[in-house]
Amino acid sequence: MGNTVSFDERSILINNERVFIYSGSVHYFRVPRGEWREALIKCKMSGLNCIDTYVAWNFHEPEEGQWDFEGDKDLDAFLALCAELGLYVIARPGPFICAEWDFGGFPWWLNNKEGIEYRVSNDIFLRYTDLYLDKVMPIIANRQWTRSGTVILTQVENEYPGYSSAEAYLGHIYNAMVSRGINVPLISCDSGIGLINTISCANGWALGKDAYERLKGKQPDVPYGGFLRRHYLVAHFCHQPVSAHRLAESRGQKQAERYAGARGADSRHPVRSKDA
């Protein structure tokens, strides 16, 4: 029998053995390739057994149709290095990642497409999203624990606020990932809207206990006890809007000052955990 990843209400099970996941973020697109090994070894020496990374679409397709997975952009090499060092991986390819990364990971040129709307069931947006997933999902799928790597979980979208077409949109992304080879458990950071067959997660910020109880009530058979919480935050941005103009606006200084001022924090430096 091959390698397996499953879960119950108590924990993740890897090859039917319980494993508690201690995960930290290393975003390969923020770290030069020559420093990946050192960063990952430091994580392991700190007691982590898992690495969480987004995949930034605009890092790999800066111009339409011009794909780059070489050098610092070699996602497969990063995942292979995690496996070599004995670190599990939680892969988070979006397509929207937030991550305090330019345009939430979307390429700038998408905004030139007439009629496009982001993060909803919009034909233009989904057409380009599918092309992106065609490129990145086979890389992730090949590095799953069930194949030749250590990817144990994959995330659908990120921090989804629940627009009116949420079920159709999230369902499209979910099915696109599965059809491109993902067979490890899928998770989502959607605060428990529960529209697709994922382990539904939430950001744990000031209302962390309430978020935990809400999620546990919706999905009593998944392992929330100290495990699947995407971020612990003290300050955070507002929900991401649909239009490109409002998306850019929401990431501006005005909102940062409003949120930080309400919590007595420095607006230039929202307080975040290492897993932000």
Domain boundaries, the chain: 5-226
Mean pLDDT across 129-138: 98
Q: Is there a contact between 183 and 152 (Cβ–Cβ < 8 Å)?
A: no
Integer Cα distance of 206 and 84 in angstroms: 37
Integer Cα distance of 128 and 126 in angstroms: 5
Tokens describing residue 177: 């990932």
pLDDT score, position 256 = 34
pLDDT score, position 216 = 72
Domain 5-226 carries which CATH code? 3.20.20.80
pLDDT score, position 221 = 79
Give CA 224 to chain center in angstroms: 17
pLDDT score, position 270 = 27
Mean pLDDT across 135-157: 97
Query: Is pLDDT of 91 > 50?
Result: yes
Tell me what percent of the residues of the chain surpass a pLDDT of 70.
75
Query: Is pLDDT of 75 > 50?
Result: yes
Flag whether the pTM goes above 0.75: yes
Residue type, 6: S
Query: Is pLDDT of 194 > 90?
Result: no
pLDDT digits over 204-238, tens only?
554 566 767 777 777 777 776 444 555 544 333 33
**Cα angle 143, 59, 113; round to 5:** 115
Query: Is pLDDT of 148 > 70?
Result: yes
* CB within 8 Å of 184: residues ≥ 6 apart: 5, 144, 145, 146, 151, 152, 153, 154
